[in-house]
Amino acid sequence: MQDYFGYGGIYLIALVSGFLDVDAITISLATLVFQGLPIFSAVGGIIIAGLSNTIFKWFVTYWMGKKDLGIQMGKIYGAIILVGIILLFFFSRFLPS
């Protein structure tokens, strides 16, 4: 993806793969750092994957569980998402485009 779409391709793959699993994309990006991927691109991709996974889990909790559970979990997931967005904003100044 990086060859065809640049670093944006990495972030897109992180977003999509993060929906169901964060481990695989985290290991892949960490491994790619040793092959020349800038560390802040890997960190950005891992944060994006974690955010998409958290949002997906929140959706599944709300959709499959009781609505009250979804609302209560939304408070916790919302805090996690907020921290992830702040981290992504912080690291965005180091991310290559």
Angstrom distance (rounded) from CA 49 to CA 45: 6
Tokens 């955010």 belong to which residue? Answer: 51
Is the CB of residue 90 less than 8 Å from the CB of residue 40? Answer: no
Domain membership flag for residue 14: yes
Res 95: pLDDT: 65
Among residues 63, 64, 49, 57, the alpha carbon closest in space to that of 78 is found at 57
pTM of the model: 0.85
Res 7: pLDDT: 78
Domain that holds residue 71: 2-92
Domain membership flag for residue 97: no
Angstrom distance (rounded) from CA 81 to CA 97: 23
Domain membership flag for residue 72: yes
Low-confidence ranges of the chain (pLDDT < 50): none
* Total domains, the chain: 1
Query: Could you tell me the two tokens for 6?
Result: 């640049």
Query: Could you tell me the two tokens for 15?
Result: 């977003």
Domain membership flag for residue 23: yes
